[in-house]
Amino acid sequence: MNAADYNSGADRAHSDLATMLATNAFKIGKTDYGFGAKLYYVTDILQAYDASVAAGTPMLTADGKPAWTGQNGIDASYLGQSTNHKLANAKSLPTDANVSKWNGFYWIANSNLLGTQYDAKSMWAGYASVIAQYAQELESWLKQVSTGMQDPKNQSTVMNYSQYRSGDLQQSSGLMDWIGQLISSGGTYIGTVFGGGLSKAAPSVFGYTKALNADTTDSTVVTNVSDTVSGVDKLIDIVMGVIQNSIVH
């Protein structure tokens, strides 16, 4: 394993995660309301990770390539029936172990005299390591939510954390009024409309503040997961804050 090329692959993964997190899951006009990345990228990563773990090669394919990359989406061997989403402006990785020489514009065959030679498998491993930690942390958080919501006290907290608004989801303009509140409140909507969000109402269930796995050593990944969880938390608030007021109260 070439350490420099491994780190180069890891750097590319960090860049792709940052690019992914900059996509907008929910945007009104030109305003980003902080809902995080488009969730199909996140679910694609989790799908690729789960399939690769089942195959015994976590976040790698049988030939050593990352099971998900920003450039290609889910690797074809783990695609299943889902859409193969590709991330715009993703970093490039070698396409094959014998096509891993960079000429400044694209990858070329190793037999070429000009270009910078990389070890493809080392780059792939470095990239996959970062994405695997991201997926592993998210799955641990999802398990935390699932386990926590089996506690009746947490169920009660979640079902009663928002204030009652009688107009939600009625045939009147209740939903549009809510959207109006969302727009007018801007970046502070989570406090003014929903009262702080589920991560604050039930932090032991929905919160994420540090690595959940002992082998997650990448602090940048922890920040990435925290940003993802924050976005998901806000999306859950939309569902709970509006539908809950109509059905539960």
> What local confidence, expressed as pLDDT, does residue 193 receive?
45
> What Å distances lie between residue 31 and 27, 34, 182, 187, 198, CA to CA?
6, 9, 11, 9, 23
Angle of the 219-247 helix axis to the 39-54 helix axis, nearest 10: 120
Lowest-pLDDT range, 53-62, 151-160, 189-198, 207-216?
189-198
> What local confidence, expressed as pLDDT, does residue 230 receive?
80
What pTM was estimated for this model as a whole? Answer: 0.81
Contact 206, 198 (CB under 8 A): yes
| pLDDT tens for each residue of 85-114 | 888 899 999 989 999 999 988 899 988 888
- Percentage of the chain exceeding pLDDT 90: 33
> What local confidence, expressed as pLDDT, does residue 146 receive?
87
Q: In the beta sheet, which residues pair with residue 74?
A: 68
The total of other beta-carbon atoms located within 10 Å of residue 48's CB is 29
| pLDDT tens for each residue of 51-67 | 999 999 999 998 899 99
**pLDDT of 174 above 80:** no
